[in-house]
Structure 1
Amino acid sequence: MKENIVISKATIDRLPIYFRTLRLVQEEGLEIISSEELGQRLGVTPEQIRKDLASFGQFGKKGVGYFVRELIRNIGEILGLHCNWNVAVIGLGHLGWALAHYRNFDSLGFNLVAMFDVDPAKVGQVIKGTTISHLDQLEEVMRERNIHIGIITVPEIHAQSVADRMVAAGVRGIWNFAPRKIKVPATVRVINEDLSVGLSSLSFYLARQTPVNP
């Protein structure tokens, strides 16, 4: 990455999209792709793609394009996907259960090594080789397995207390699916995913585009 350059959040948010699309391109057998073709697939201008990537260095060859395998590796390193982060899911309800079964964690460099719940019917079950632990063991297990990222899928009322316990156990990042903002120290990064917000936004646009019968 270039020194002393402030990278916008919009640019950072587009990098995973570039990464995902390039992986699909690679599966199609393409070895080289231009910024024009990549932009057409994403609905992003070629100029924006070139500008985003230029924030981190020089990629591709003028008049040729980007070498797909090389760009996947470079963007993956920028995103830190080579670091093999250890991940825990807290709350094995419908959403937590689905995330625990997400097949692309491993391929992206995320190791799901711990899961927690309070339901006796779930504690002790094994998902993809990992046993679900009781929430009472959270601090002990997270320290023992060196958890870097915690995924919160517990009811809203418990989200902050779970976050506090994870922070105390040394977690560095939290992916929060509970419909409330959680407070953490500045040293811990939080990404909030509120599904109701996304659906409500979609509803807003659809209501203005499509006639709705009362």
Structure 2
Amino acid sequence: MSPRPVPASTVARLPIYLRVLEELADAGVATTDSGRLAELSGVGPAQLRRDLSFLGSHGVRGVGYDVEHLHAHVASALGVTGDLAVVIVGIGNLGHALANYVAGAGTGFRVAALVDALPDVVGTRVAGLTVEHVDGLEDVVRREGATVAVLATPAGVSQELCDRLVAAGVTGILTFVPRVLQVPDGVDLRSVDLATELQILAFHERRKAASRG
């Protein structure tokens, strides 16, 4: 039987629940109720219970949720209980920082390879790995069995690299490139555009300033 479909909005909140559960576990909290978990997650209790119900997780009346068990359940649903190989393409300042972050995060991901085109970057060591040349991108992806990649490259080459990653077997791409990329059906694309996010904040700041007169 196929898994119950989980709404995209619920999936987007699962990492928040996971982070809060990690914080509770680190603080030695064994059980928590939906009200407390929802408050720490910034959602309403009904929303939290609805989200968790998609995973088949239900608290015990009068007891709440077992923090360790729920953490394992959410982590499993997110697919971060294993050792998912990630290839990072573009090892400039941002790519360098991302490589070190993912390598030290312990979130079920593993930085499998780093790729760049610049001669002064290729061959250097970052996060315990040697940066490889972009000419061998397809071989790198297949060698590592990677299905997830991070793009932190100049915009002008991003679509070409995206196409090459997909052709090599990557089915999930996180891009920090300020450009709209095109991917075929079956490939998940997540975009983090810092300039866009700042522009949205600027919009809200202008609206608040206008309302103050």
The two structures have a TM-score, normalised by structure 1, of 0.92
SS at match of 1:196: helix
The equivalent residue for 1:47 is: 46
| 8 Å CA contact retained: 1:101, 1:127 | yes
SS at match of 2:101: coil
Report Cα offsets for 1:162-182 as digits up to 9, x if no partner. 001111111121001111121
CA–CA separation in structure 1 for the residues paired with 2:188 and 2:87: 15
The equivalent residue for 1:175 is: 174
The equivalent residue for 1:134 is: 133
Report deviation, 1:99.
0.3
Q: 1:170 to 1:4 in 2, by over 3 A?
A: closer
Matches within 5 A, 1:48-63: 48-63=47-62
Q: Which residue identity does 2:162 align to in structure 1? A: A
CA–CA separation in structure 2 for the residues paired with 1:104 and 1:131: 14
| 8 Å CA contact retained: 1:117, 1:133 | yes
Fraction of identical pairs, as percent: 36
| 8 Å CA contact retained: 2:102, 2:110 | no
Q: Which residue identity does 2:118 align to in structure 1? A: D
SS at match of 1:99: helix
Q: 1:22 to 1:104 in 2, by over 3 A?
A: farther
Count of residue pairs brought into register by the alignment:
210
**What RMSD, in angstroms, separates the aligned Cα atoms of the two structures?**
1.7
Q: Which residue identity does 2:158 align to in structure 1? A: A
Q: Which residue identity does 1:19 align to in structure 2? A: L
CA–CA separation in structure 2 for the residues paired with 1:45 and 1:104: 33
CA–CA separation in structure 1 for the residues paired with 2:119 and 2:37: 48
Q: 1:14 to 1:105 in 2, by over 3 A?
A: farther
Report deviation, 1:42.
2.2
Structure 2 residue 7 is the aligned partner of structure 1 residue 8: yes
Report deviation, 1:17.
0.5
The equivalent residue for 2:204 is: 205
Report deviation, 1:103.
4.9
Q: Which residue identity does 1:87 align to in structure 2? A: V
The equivalent residue for 2:86 is: 87
Residue ranges of structure 2 left out of the alignment (5+ in a row): none
The equivalent residue for 2:152 is: 153
CA–CA separation in structure 1 for the residues paired with 2:127 and 2:66: 34
Report deviation, 1:148.
1.4
After superposing the two structures, state which structure 1 stretch, 135-144 or 99-108, moved more: 99-108
Q: Which residue identity does 2:26 align to in structure 1? A: E
The equivalent residue for 1:20 is: 19
The two structures have a TM-score, normalised by structure 2, of 0.92
SS at match of 1:108: coil
CA–CA separation in structure 2 for the residues paired with 1:103 and 1:174: 15
CA–CA separation in structure 1 for the residues paired with 2:40 and 2:103: 21
The equivalent residue for 1:111 is: 110
Q: Which residue identity does 1:51 align to in structure 2? A: R
| 8 Å CA contact retained: 1:105, 1:112 | no
